[in-house]
Each structure stands twice: as C-alpha cells, then as structure tokens.
Amino acid sequence: MTLQHVRLFALMPLLLAAQVQGAEVAIKSGIIKGTITVAGKPTADVVVSLEGISAETAKAQISAAKPKKAVIDQREMKFIPHVLPVLVGTTVEFPNHDTAWHNVYSKGGAKDFDLGLYQPGKTTSTTFDKPGVARILCNVHPNMEAFIVVKEHPFFSSADKGGNYRLDGVPLGKYRIQVWHPELGTTEAGVELVRAGEVLDVNFDLKKK
C-alpha cells in the first residue's frame, strides 16, 4: 500500500462525517408554499416572508450569501416589477428602456436616495443596506411607482402571476408567515414545521379595505 493510499484511507472518516453532517442539515428542514389572492383573485404584488428566524440563523444566512444584483426595469412608463423583495446588501439596477428621460428616487423608507435624471438606454443603481420598505418613484412621471422590500434573511419570496409562492429549506420550528401588500398592509399566520421534509400549504386571501 502506498503512502498516498494510506492518506486517502485516513481522510475517509472525515469525508464521510462531513457528508453525513451535510445530509442532516439538508433533511432538518421543510417547505412552505401556497397561493396569495385578493378577494379571490391571484396577485403577484406581494412579498411572503418567514418571521421569527433567530438572529444567529439570519446572520449566518447573510454571511453565506454572495452579493447579489436585482433589476427594476422602466418600460412603457412603468416600473417592472411593481414589488421586488431583496436581501440586505443587494444592489438594484434601474435600466431606462423607455424613449423618455426618467428619474428614480425614494424618501422616508428603507433608503433615501435620488439617482437624478437620466436618458433612455442608461442604467443607474443603488445598494440597499438596511431592512425595510422603499417606495420607488420618478419625479418626471408621478404615475410611476414600485416598492422594494429589503429583508435580513433569505427566507422570502414574491408571488408569481398565479399568486403562488414557495419557501425552501426552512429550518424546523415555529414561525410566522408574513404577507406584505403595498395597499393592504401586512397579514400574518402562525406555522410550525415538525418533520424533516414536511411540506406545508399556507394560503392567504387578502381583503380589500
């Protein structure tokens, strides 16, 4: 037996232990999914998040996450998407794909900023480093509006056109599912994941005020 083989055999218990530990982490979690409707009709203008995550878990998740970028487009005199959830530290780009000049600014929310007036074809950006909600506006076109929801952990999701959302890899435990809507505010429901691999269906029908 060569020295190389001896070293390989010596490392095998460590490798197997790491694989087992990784598998345990993977299976000690579950999935929460569902559909969000407003008065019975599916909506995509919501952010669904898991609340009650420990500070240690949130910090670890942020540390493990790579710096990300997100985009709010400007087309046909609209911000697209209307609602965008991002993780703290995310840089959001605002490309101007209209034929008109645009401005992007926000005040009194998660971040105060003004990217100034810029021409078609140009892109500006800003980084969101604090949690909260930023209302995005254009001082040239007052009908343009969007919302950026900044979260301190990655357990969040925006709904698709059918109102469907999904949160993967949720650690077992008791939490609150929070649904944020720009007009209807915040709605919550308690949930508990007790079994590894469990899938919970949690649906919300928001009521217009």
- The answer to whether the CB of 206 falls within 8 A of the CB of 43 is yes
Residue type, 40: G
119 pLDDT higher than 70: yes
- At residue 129, φ and ψ (nearest 5 deg) are -110, 10
168-184 pLDDT, tens digit per residue, is 999 999 999 999 999 99
Cβ neighbours for 207, distance < 8 A, ≥ 6 positions apart: 38, 39, 184
Q: Quick one: pLDDT at residue 58?
A: 77
Q: Which residue has the higher pLDDT, 26 or 134?
A: 134
Going from the N-terminus, what domains does the chain have, and what CATH number goes with each? 27-42+161-167+203-209 (no CATH), 65-158 (2.60.40.420)
Judged on CB neighbours under 10 Å (0-12, 13-18, 19+), 51 is middle
Confidence of residue 67 (pLDDT cuts 50, 70, 90): low
2 pLDDT higher than 60: no
Q: Quick one: pLDDT at residue 24?
A: 43
- At residue 22, φ and ψ (nearest 5 deg) are -65, -40
Mean per-residue pLDDT, 6-22: 42
24-45 pLDDT, tens digit per residue, is 444 589 999 999 999 999 999 9
Output the pTM of the full model.
Answer: 0.83
Rounded to whole angstroms, the Cα distance separating 209 from 191 reads 25
- The answer to whether the CB of 170 falls within 8 A of the CB of 192 is no
1 pLDDT higher than 70: no
Dihedral sign from CA coordinates of 187, 193, 196, 199: negative
> HSE (CB half, 13 Å, CA atoms) of 175?
24
Give the mean pLDDT of the chain: 88
Q: Quick one: pLDDT at residue 207?
A: 86
